[in-house]
Amino acid sequence: MQGLLLHGYKEMNSAGFLFLKIQDARRCGQWLRELLPALTTAATRPREEVHQQESCLNLALTWEGLKALGLERAALETFPFEFRKGMSERARVLGDTGSSAPEHWEFGGTQRDGRSQRELHLLLVIYGRDEETLNALLAQHRARFAAAGLEEIYCQRTRHLKEQTELAGRPYTFLREHFGFRDSLSQPSIEGFRDAAGAPPSYDPAPLKAGEFILGYENEYGERPPSPSVSASQDPAGWLGESWEEEGRKDLGRHGTYLVLRKLQQDVSAFNDFVEQHRALAARHTPDPEKQAEWLKSRMIGRWPDGAPLKPGEAEQPAQPPVTEHGISNAFDFRADPHGFGCPLTSHTRRANPRDSLPPERALSLMISRRHRILRRGIPYGPRYDADREGQERGLVFVSLNANIARQFEFIQQSWMNNEKAGGLYDERDPVTSSVESGRLTLPERPLRLCLTGLQHFVTMKGGGYFFLPSVRALHFLAELAPQPPSQPA
């Protein structure tokens, strides 16, 4: 299994996301065979080793990429519908409209500049412990593209906004995103997977079934997720195991998963200005203008900037969020806040994961939430926000891993984040990420609720795609698809 960011995600400071087009399947196959030994796998390693690793490398393919590499038609048809369509064709489902529509994307969209979804074949993810390591690795890989029949379509460099601290006497790293919030705090734990860094306690202590994130394993429905397959005759070398779905076929998906990538530009000035203009809404909670702004921002996101959960009646961020040696505790639910007096029902995080608060009752809500979790591996791009040096672009390369794009990532985006009637309200969408102008956010308060109106477009979709992250064995199989060059006489 490829270990995309499972281990060592926080240890790496910089990453390059290289989007490539296959021009020659035969030469690309050769390149792939040579690349395979360098790929980072998910093999469990001791914490010390993870802390010391200098780089990570992973490779994923779009449906167009599998086609360009020569995968037979019948096998291509075994991939799920939304993956075959690709992200840009799912724009309506995802709410990518207006300036976030695929015709404006920088890559992977419907634009006619050679970087559209059809030209996006491979995604090479290169992580480096620091900028120098990343630069060297990028140069090394780029030097081989021409001979490998590969064209670089787009490259997005990213860099963690890190915060080093100490928890229980051990060094600990927090990650921030550009609006100023600690990110990557709520992550699912996965059955059978030992997180080298240890996971903080969660509101839902039972780990999720591995089949929510890895093909070939049982999922939260007690079933194995559908898996792409090839006819047995296509795999004479025997790289793939038998398909469990159909006799005479081999399982191409086992130990693989799907990767969703979205480049999301963040307009931090607009976000801050908007909050500044509306902070008086918080005046009844605190007289301090800075704290008012912090209060309002936090209602939009659904957590305090340092990661503490929002509780009813709390006017200020607690001095210290609830921490354990493994990070900020994620062991909170909404039992004590059913109406959203603390964390608004339609804030970003409560929409993205309602935890125990969906009607009609708690246990059912927890079960539903378990079926729509994603493993988030986003990394910011662009410089830290500095009001005096504006005009620079920044944002988040949002990466989500899941075994079922439609049921996990797309469901969250469509049925929770962009649901206009979420929480029994009307005409509201995610207050942070929605691409609809003039949105609003209801802030439940006693005796009367408040309404934050005129929300702007703070996040713009700039490009992305749906990728298949195959197992290492499946990559061996794919590398051998194209006819081999004739061997040279000695």
Residues near ligand HEM (CB under 6 A): 177, 179, 181, 183-186, 264, 266, 301, 303, 348-349, 352-353, 374, 396, 398, 409, 412-413, 417, 432-433, 459
Distance of CA 120 to the CA centre of its chain: 18
Which of residues 40 and 184 has its CB atom nearest to ligand HEM in the complex?
Answer: 184
Q: How far is the CB of 349 from ligand HEM (least distance, A)?
A: 4
Which of residues 79 and 181 has its CB atom nearest to ligand HEM in the complex?
Answer: 181
Q: How far is the CB of 197 from ligand HEM (least distance, A)?
A: 15
Which of residues 459 and 475 has its CB atom nearest to ligand HEM in the complex?
Answer: 459
CA distance 473 to 490: 30
Which of residues 229 and 329 has its CB atom nearest to ligand HEM in the complex?
Answer: 329
CA distances from 305 to 203, 219, 346, 351 (A): 20, 33, 17, 17
CA distance 112 to 116: 7
Which of residues 145 and 179 has its CB atom nearest to ligand HEM in the complex?
Answer: 179
CA distance 410 to 422: 16
Q: How far is the CB of 62 from ligand HEM (least distance, A)?
A: 19
Could you tell me if 316 and 308 are in contact, meaning their C-beta atoms sit under 8 angstroms apart? Answer: no
Which of residues 458 and 477 has its CB atom nearest to ligand HEM in the complex?
Answer: 458
CA distance 377 to 71: 29
Which of residues 31 and 304 has its CB atom nearest to ligand HEM in the complex?
Answer: 304
Q: How far is the CB of 187 from ligand HEM (least distance, A)?
A: 7
Signed CA dihedral, 268, 273, 276, 279: sign only: negative
Could you tell me if 441 and 431 are in contact, meaning their C-beta atoms sit under 8 angstroms apart? Answer: yes
Which of residues 100 and 219 has its CB atom nearest to ligand HEM in the complex?
Answer: 100
Q: How far is the CB of 60 from ligand HEM (least distance, A)?
A: 18
Q: How far is the CB of 49 from ligand HEM (least distance, A)?
A: 26
Residues near 206 by Cβ (< 8 Å), separated by ≥ 6? none
**Per-residue tokens: 363:** 């246990």
**Per-residue tokens: 172:** 């600990």
Q: How far is the CB of 264 from ligand HEM (least distance, A)?
A: 4
Q: How far is the CB of 333 from ligand HEM (least distance, A)?
A: 10
C-alpha dihedral, 62 to 68 to 71 to 76, nearest 10°? 50
Q: What is the DSSP letter of 165?
A: E
Query: Is residue 348 classed as helix, strand or coil in its secondary structure?
Result: helix
Signed CA dihedral, 102, 108, 112, 118: sign only: negative
Query: Is residue 55 classed as helix, strand or coil in its secondary structure?
Result: strand
